[in-house]
Amino acid sequence: MYKENNYPSQLLEDAVEAISTLPGVGKRGALRLALHLLGSPAENVHHFTKAINDLRDNVRYCRVCNMISDTDICSVCGDSSRDRSTVCVVESVRDVMSIENTMQYKGLYHVLGGVISPLDGIGPDNLAIDALERRLAAPDTEIKEVILALDGDVEGETTSFYLYRRIAGYGIAVTTLARGLGFGDDLEYADSLTLGRSILARQPFSIERK
Amino acid sequence: MYKENNYPSQLLEDAVEAISTLPGVGKRGALRLALHLLGSPAENVHHFTKAINDLRDNVRYCRVCNMISDTDICSVCGDSSRDRSTVCVVESVRDVMSIENTMQYKGLYHVLGGVISPLDGIGPDNLAIDALERRLAAPDTEIKEVILALDGDVEGETTSFYLYRRIAGYGIAVTTLARGLGFGDDLEYADSLTLGRSILARQPFSIERK
């Protein structure tokens, strides 16, 4: 009998332990994945692990905006058709991909690489905030607006507030994302904080919906 | 703009492609896992990939029952308290773990490593069937019963039938798992095949429920 958390093989147990460190993967799911990999051709498994090691070991970041990139300057920063007067400050690579997918934003980005979170030991010095300030302070800067596009949780709000205070001195417009009911949302199911803010921040009615 | 299936980095795309080959992991989930690994310390990522490579490259199987094992003889086959007269034939390592978890079975196992599936190019020669027959034919064999514990799908049934014909000559009892309504199942929601078979295979009522 294999007791709970006991496996017929130490190698299998080690692999399950490692796989279950992934977010959203429990012990059962990790066992399923480990046995799948065990049953796959060795070259497929090596390709799988090599792709992950390569990503972690050889990843590069754009030296302007800190976005993941295979080149020194990322494809957004290097695109002369983008609006260079606007910089959207986000937490992560994922956020840039989400905003790009909306096809609504034509400016540049700045990826902080996280948010201020004292509980996790992450302070302003661990984020790409100095690099952002250098972009704003550069003599040839074209930046006229900084959009703080961070999450609406405590860490995101704290970071937005901190950034606002550091940026305020540069005479650059600082904006943030509109918050309110989602498009298509029912009032009935909206949380009261969001609904309350949506009333306070009400907008002129327009037949042309954006 | 990153078009669909287009990523800011080839390394990221390669990792997402590799991760999305896992069962039950789509492109979105793979991206989330890739970015998680990207944000993890390099030594954690290397530990993760090494555990998987080690499992695939150094795995060993019990030379009696074909179960995954770190030793030449697995812990079940090497356990003198197990009932050596009964062998439970299963498809996979996972099935042995599931049956062991029930704590109801005290016999030995035989892991086929798959089921007969002509569509997937898996025939009897690709499975540990010869090894099973050698166990049954050994002059000093203690085996008196073989339990065919394969899945109830077409491949499982085909394999059971094939095994039954090969085993029949050895004068050994061949049994299979009881099929019927699950304990706690509602009749209302049972599929009619299972319900029909449960009626045909009805059992004497007993106050003592097993």
Give me the interface pTM, i.e. the ipTM: 0.81
Question: pLDDT tens, B102-112?
Answer: 888 999 999 99
- Give the span between the Cα atoms of B176 and A59, in whole angstroms: 54
> CA of A67: which chain B residue's CA is closest?
B8
pLDDT of residue A182: 83
pLDDT of residue A5: 54
Q: Which residues of B touch A40 (CB under 8 A)?
A: 56
Question: pLDDT tens, A137-193?
Answer: 999 999 999 999 999 899 999 999 999 999 988 989 999 988 888 888 888 888 888
When pLDDT is cut at 50, 70 and 90, the band that residue B1 belongs to is low
The beta-carbon neighbor of B52 closest among A10, A37, A74 is A37
When pLDDT is cut at 50, 70 and 90, the band that residue A207 belongs to is confident
CA dihedral B196, B202, B208, B210 (to 10 degrees): -60
Question: pLDDT tens, A178-205?
Answer: 888 888 888 888 888 888 888 888 877 7
- Give the span between the Cα atoms of A13 and A5, in whole angstroms: 8
Q: Which residues of B touch A67 (CB under 8 A)?
A: 8
> Do A56 and B75 make contact, defined as CB atoms within 8 angstroms?
no
How many other CB atoms are there within 10 angstroms of residue A119's CB atom? 7
The single residue listed with the structure tokens 């709000």 is: A157
Half-sphere exposure at residue B130, Cβ-oriented, CA atoms within 13 angstroms: 4
When pLDDT is cut at 50, 70 and 90, the band that residue B183 belongs to is confident
Instruction: Using DSSP bridges, classify how beta strands A68-69 and A60-61 pair: parallel, antiparallel or unpaired.
Output: antiparallel
Helix (H, G, I), strand (E, B) or coil at A87: strand
Report residue B8 CA to chain centroid gap.
Answer: 40
Is the pLDDT at A3 greater than 60? The verdict is no
- Give the span between the Cα atoms of A105 and A100, in whole angstroms: 7
Q: Which residues of A touch B120 (CB under 8 A)?
A: none
Tokens of B110: 């035989």
Which candidate, B55, B147, B143, places its Cα nearest to that of B95?
B147
pLDDT of residue A139: 93
Long-range contacts of A158-166 (CB under 8 A, 24+ apart): A158/A115, A158/A116, A159/A91, A159/A112, A159/A115, A159/A116, A159/A127, A162/A116, A162/A124, A163/A89, A163/A129, A163/A132, A166/A129, A166/A133
When pLDDT is cut at 50, 70 and 90, the band that residue A9 belongs to is very high
User: To the nearest whole angstrom, how far is the Cα of A97 from the nearest Cα of chain B?
Assistant: 7
- The arithmetic mean of pLDDT across residues B84-112, rounded, is 94
Question: pLDDT tens, B29-44?
Answer: 999 999 999 989 999 9
* Mean pLDDT, chain B, integer: 91
